[in-house]
Amino acid sequence: MSIRLSGTPASPGVSIGPAFLLDVEEIRVKKRTLRTPEEVESELERFSDALAKTRGELESISDQISDIIEGKQLIEVHILLLNDPSMIADAQNLIKNECVCAEYAVSRVLYEVLERFSAMKDPYLRNRAVDVRDVGRRLIANLLGTEREALVNIKSPVVLISSDLDPSQTAGLSRKQLLGIATDLGGSTSHTAILARSMGIPAVVALNDVAESAVPGQTIIIDGIHGYVILDPDDDELQFYSELKKRYNIAEAEIALNAESAAATADGQPVELSANIEFSQEADQVHRFGGYGIGLFRTEFIRLLTPGVEDNEEMHYRAYKHVLKTMNPEPVIIRTLDLGGDKFLSSIPTVEKNPFLGWRGIRICLDRPVKFSNQLRALLRAAKHGNAKIMLPMITGYDQVLQVRLMLERIAAELDRDGIPRGDIPPLGIMVETPAAVLGIDLLLPHSDFVSIGSNDLTQYTLAVDRGSPYVSKLFDSMHPAVVRQIGIVAEKCREAGKWVGICGLMASDPLAIPLLLGFGLNELSVPMTLIPDVKEIISVINMNDAKSLAEQALTLKSSDEIRKCVLNYVESKYPEIILDEIHREKNDRGN
């Protein structure tokens, strides 16, 4: 019987193939004592040979992924860790003074370093333990003469199952042999997820027990669009997913055909259809998928992949410059750091019992003005390379916007004083993702140049439903009247104030929500890049007048079921069959 596991979609697409289970290697190795000075001498030599080999391996991975700035950066970090003189000296001293074999010396040093990292206060540095462990495993495998990645032995395409994957393992994988990835751990923001996305390999993470449940060689389906993994699928599932895969691939092939045409409704009303991106290199693909501009550039990942990047203005600058130049003259909405909540800080023991209600997004930035200034400096410098807009997350009051505006003015003056080139101060917008921002929208608009609705958080905060909790996931519903009505309010107030308003939460790509969002008169839908072709097709069959009356009607309905039914009645005769199939499937999953 098939087993269906639900996880976090990490990289879109569908793959079907045989499971390949990757064992997680242990770092600890056996102690071997050296008896003579000659043995010590040759062990030191063996250690330096292994260092050279490991360095060579990392350099060749770095060459292979030269087209992925962030991935390359990650491997460079690993090379830096490997070359750390104190780590090398500590291992050499253990070999010399305690007469132990090189792999044992390395494992001892590693454990000490890992312990030091785990005890670090700075959450970012603490997260770097994963990189230290990764480099250490690679070095030990070379000392032991084992092929570290059984992966190199893969001869035919497989779906890779693992409890977790090290970043360098992911980066070193061959795109040809790898159909998909499923892991127990990780989140959509984990290294593995980011790299899988950049390599275009469907992936689902945070599955909890896929590594235990899967049997080597059995057929497995990865649905990286919705976040499902199906082990040993039955005929119906195989048929459904083969079709979904085909449709996805056809959509990919048709992308080039539709990419040229701008998104517009059936009656010719233009709609800005933009991309959400998580790392800079994705911008290269936006036009291929037929998108117009970037509606949300989540900048947390630049920090995630580079040690000390909080203070590394240069890394931010390079990423923004690349995106802005690539998209120019189309707009690029760069969101300032939205750390906290479930982003990188959640795995860290924290005094906060409710991190989503805690130190998150703009709150952290304003409490750390020196570090935040580095991001704003990078933004101002990069702004001269294209059409940049700056967007602030988690806004609850106008004073937050004012503070950032003042900071931008001060930083602009400093750059001018120091003769550092910069662009004009970009338009400064806000994310509306808290009920406070909706109810106070008239107070915020005079200070905000534009608005983008973050429906993911708006749903979470409105319905008091943790967006990441499996226990309440059924209650997380952006079509709830309380959410839909708030979108209506924001759209109306923005229209009255003459302010541009878009939406960048996942609701923007929900086939049943799209008619409502258009009907409310939103200027832009910003969606995950790979969903652009579908959303464009959906927009093209909707009539704007119909959308307006659907939106009006939705405001009078009592439940999300009623709202969905009302839209479904309208779209049933219009949407392509495969999209209707998906709507019905989700309806069944919701149990209605």
The verdict on 457 binding ligand PEP (CB under 6 A) reads yes
The binding track of 321-340 with respect to ligand PEP, each residue x by CB under 6 A or -, is -----------------x--
Please work out the total of residues on this chain that contact ligand PEP, with binding judged by CB under 6 A: 10
Q: Are 99 and 89 in contact (CB under 8 A)?
A: no
197 makes contact with ligand PEP (CB under 6 A): no
- The partner residues of 524 in beta bridges, in order of sequence, read 272, 502
Applying CB under 6 A, among 429, 505, 515, 519 the residue interacting with ligand PEP is 505
CB atoms within 10 A of CB 22: 20
3-state secondary structure of 248: helix
The active-site residue out of 101, 365, 494, 504 is 504
Distance of alpha carbon 410 from alpha carbon 395, whole angstroms: 21
Shortest Å distance, C-beta 256 to ligand PEP: 28
Q: Are the C-beta atoms of residues 265 and 542 closer than 8 Å to each other?
A: yes
Q: Give the range of 112-120, 190-198, 258-266, 454-462 binding ligand PEP by CB under 6 A.
A: 454-462
Query: Which does residue 455 touch among ligand PEP, Mg ion, none (CB within 5 to 8 A, set by kind)?
Result: ligand PEP
DSSP, collapsed to helix, strand or coil, labels residue 287 as: coil
Window of 113-121, 281-289, 448-456, 553-561 that interacts with ligand PEP by CB under 6 A: 448-456
Decide which of Mg ion, ligand PEP, none touches 535; Cβ closer than 5 to 8 Å per partner kind: none
- C-alpha angle 114-116-121 in degrees, rounded to nearest 5: 120
The answer to whether residue 457 forms part of the interface with Mg ion (CB under 5 A) is yes
Bond before 329 cis per omega within 30 degrees: yes
- Work out whether 58 is an interface residue with ligand PEP (CB under 6 A): no
Q: Which does 342 bind (CB under 5 to 8 A by kind): ligand PEP, Mg ion, none?
A: none
Classify burial at 578, counting beta carbons within 10 Å of its beta carbon; exposed 0-12, middle 13-18, buried 19 or more: middle
Pick from Mg ion, ligand PEP, none: which does 43 bind, CB < 5 to 8 A by kind? none
Interface positions, 297-316, toward ligand PEP (CB under 6 A): 298
Residue whose CB is less far from ligand PEP, 158 or 296: 296
Q: Which two tokens stand for residue 368?
A: 């750390």
Least distance between ligand PEP and beta carbon 316 (Å): 17
Taking the complex as a whole, the smallest distance from the CB of residue 368 to ligand PEP amounts, in Å, to 19
414: tokens are: 């400093």
Tell me, yes or no, if 191 is annotated catalytic.
yes
Work out whether 455 is an interface residue with ligand PEP (CB under 6 A): yes
- Return the range that interacts with ligand PEP (CB under 6 A); candidates 229-237, 449-457, 483-491, 572-580: 449-457
Nearer to ligand PEP, 180 or 505 (CB): 505
Q: Does 433 bind ligand PEP (CB under 6 A)?
A: yes
Length of the chain: 592
CA 184 – CA 365 distance, rounded (Å) = 32
Cα–Cα dist 86/349, whole Å = 28
342 makes contact with Mg ion (CB under 5 A): no
Least separation in angstroms between CB 434 and Mg ion: 9
- Least Å distance between CB 346 and ligand PEP? 13
Q: What are phi and psi of 501, to 5 degrees?
A: -140, 130
* Cβ at position 533, least distance to ligand PEP in Å: 20
> What is the phi/psi pair of residue 396, to 5°?
-125, -10
State the DSSP string of 445-477.
GGG-SEEEE-HHHHHHHHHT--TT-GGGGGG--
Rounded to whole angstroms, how far apart are CA atoms 484 and 507?
A: 10
Give me the helix-helix angle, 102-118 and 37-64, nearest 10°. 60
480 assigned to active site:
no
Confirm or reject binding of residue 454 to Mg ion (CB under 5 A): yes
The string of DSSP codes covering 245-295 is: HHHHHHHHHHHHHHHTSPPB-TT--B-EEEEEESSGGGGGGTTTTT--SEE
**What's the CA gap between 349 and 141, in Å, rounded?**
31
Note whether 166 and 3 are within 8 A (CB).
no
Catalytic annotation, pick one of 78, 101, 191, 322: 191
C-beta of 568: minimal distance to Mg ion in Å?
A: 27
Interface residues for Mg ion in 418-437 (CB under 5 A)?
433
Q: Does 269 bind ligand PEP (CB under 6 A)?
A: no
Residue 221, φ and ψ in degrees, nearest 5: -110, 130
d(CA 103, CA 129): 19
Which listed option, ligand PEP, Mg ion, none, makes contact with residue 298 (CB within 5 to 8 Å by class)? ligand PEP
Contact of residue 504 among Mg ion, ligand PEP, none (CB under 5-8 Å per partner type)? ligand PEP
CA 541 centroid distance within chain = 30
3-state secondary structure 171-198: HCCCCCCEEEEEECCCCCCCHHHHHHHH
Does 295 sit near Mg ion (CB under 5 A)? no
Query: What is the pattern of x (binds ligand PEP, CB under 6 A) and - over residues 337-366?
Result: -x----------------------------
Helix axes 532-540, 235-259, angle to 10 degrees: 80
Question: Contact between 504 and ligand PEP (CB under 6 A)?
Answer: yes
| Residue 107 or 509 having the CB closest to ligand PEP | 509
Pairing of strands 272-277, 203-205: unpaired
Q: Which residues bind Mg ion (CB under 5 A)?
A: 433, 454, 457
Active-site annotation, residues? 191, 504
Q: Which residues bind ligand PEP (CB under 6 A)?
A: 296, 298, 338, 433, 454-457, 504-505
